[in-house]
Amino acid sequence: MSKRLTLGIFGFGVVGQGLYDIIKTKDLNLSIKKFVIKDPTKERSLPASLFTTDASVILDDPEINTVVELINDADAAYDITVRALRSGKNVVSANKKMIATHLEELVKIQQEHGTSLLYEGAVCGSIPIIRNLEEYYDNELLHSVSGIFNGSSNYILSKIFNEKQSYEVALKKAQDLGFAETDPTLDVGGYDPKYKLAIVASHAYGLYINPDEILNLGIDKLGNSDIQFANEKNYKIKLIPLAKEVDSKHVVLYVLPKFIRKDNILSNVENEYNGVLVKAAFADEQFFYGKGAGGHPTGSAVLSDITALRYDYRYEYKKHLESQQVEYSTDYQLEVYFRYADEKTLEQIQFDSISERYYAENFKYVIAKINLQEIIKKRDLIHQDGNFLAEII
């Protein structure tokens, strides 16, 4: 028998409304008792009696056994989640930053209080990757997990490469469609996919990594010459997070824009779609594809978590408990394209080798091998205006 759920929902934005639309289409043995919102003056499509601005109305209500947290503010989301889990309520959250930043502590709180925190909607929208990593790939040796984890930057790149739209116009559309974060730097700067990568690394490899330790460079410095370079060489540019086992004890994690060939499976992942590419020892290559942003796709993942709680589902974090744990490493050589404005910048970066060098007044680049540690060390220099770095795969 499934348990009857009484929900208290924090947030009625894009995902909250998407979730509500889906819930009302079915009889799922659950009811929504209250929404907590920030702005009481905003016009809502539901009766005013369903809304409050007071978090305690949900958190102190013993009848509410399930808290759904769908707000932007990661600090407020953390407080809500911790209070709810400690008071015996299960929580569903789609806040990738909050989960990636506090995961180790949140796992402990769940174990101490016998409560469950689920967050499928936080990673790649509608794609059920967390539960698959947790359950299905439990015994499988994972060589790597990579893909397209951010719908907004992928939407922008698709519009630039397929429709020759400008970066600014495409970004504005991604915002209007509700894909982008409130601060879109999180999307185009590669922070949002980095948080998702940290969560993926936890379920794939049993790692708790502070996202601040993971390198992310985004598409925010992409220029016309880089697009021209990609078109001439028959590449596409995609923003790709990677978790990869470099040997039996070490895993590297980073987010970089990448030049990929058009026969690469990720090349056909366009607009707000996401794709997750899993390479495993025995299953070999597998690919998950689906919408990564938007109210209904993300709402569908959130609903799947809610309904899993009717049967008391919880992540077991088994890979964290295994004795043969892997460690996070940054010692990894990659091949990059680096466009730079000032020759002095180039002199300050230690490349392992340079295979190609182009020098014109308005367009200078190198194709070179470089260690990830050097990119991390020189991140600010590399990320200055006038420069753009992308991996070539």
Instruction: Encode 72-82: b = buried (16+ Cβ within 10 Å), e = exposed.
Output: ebbebbbebbb
Contact between 125 and ligand HSE by CB under 6 A: the answer reads yes
d(CA 329, CA 337): 22
> Looking at beta carbons only, is 134 or 187 nearer to ligand HSE?
187
Closest separation between CB of residue 199 and ligand HSE, Å?
A: 11
d(CA 50, CA 113): 29
271 in Cβ contact with 155 (< 8 Å): yes
Catalytic residue among 34, 97, 196, 244: 196
Termini Cα distance of the chain: 50
Enumerate the β-bridge partners of residue 354.
368
Contact between 120 and ligand HSE by CB under 6 A: the answer reads no
Catalytic status, residue 196 = yes
# binding residues, ligand HSE (CB under 6 A): 11
Contact between 157 and ligand HSE by CB under 6 A: the answer reads no
Contact between 271 and ligand HSE by CB under 6 A: the answer reads no
Closest separation between CB of residue 97 and ligand HSE, Å?
A: 10
Convert residues 174-213 into a mask of x (bound to ligand HSE by CB under 6 A) and - (unbound): -----xxx-----x----x---------------------
Closest separation between CB of residue 28 and ligand HSE, Å?
A: 24
> Looking at beta carbons only, is 20 or 229 nearer to ligand HSE?
20
Residue among 306, 266, 356, 354 at smallest CA distance from 68: 306
Convert residues 280-319 into a mask of x (bound to ligand HSE by CB under 6 A) and - (unbound): ------------xx--------------------------
Please give the backbone phi and psi of residue 251, each rounded to the nearest 5 degrees, phi first. -125, 130
> Looking at beta carbons only, is 67 or 293 nearer to ligand HSE?
293
Contact between 257 and ligand HSE by CB under 6 A: the answer reads no
Contact between 151 and ligand HSE by CB under 6 A: the answer reads yes
Closest separation between CB of residue 150 and ligand HSE, Å?
A: 4
Q: Which stretch binds ligand HSE (CB under 6 A): 53-61, 81-89, 148-156, 369-377?
A: 148-156
Amino acid symbol at 275: G
Reported residue count of the chain is 393
d(CA 237, CA 350): 24
In three-state secondary structure terms, 273 is strand
Contact between 18 and ligand HSE by CB under 6 A: the answer reads no
d(CA 211, CA 213): 5
Closest separation between CB of residue 73 and ligand HSE, Å?
A: 15
- Of all helices (H) and strands (E), which one includes residue 67? strand 66-69
Q: Which stretch binds ligand HSE (CB under 6 A): 25-33, 149-157, 224-232, 331-339?
A: 149-157
In three-state secondary structure terms, 35 is strand
The Cβ-side half-sphere exposure at 139, using a 13 Å CA radius, reads: 1
Using CB under 6 A, list all residues that contact ligand HSE: 125, 150-152, 179-181, 187, 192, 292-293
- The set of catalytic residues is 196
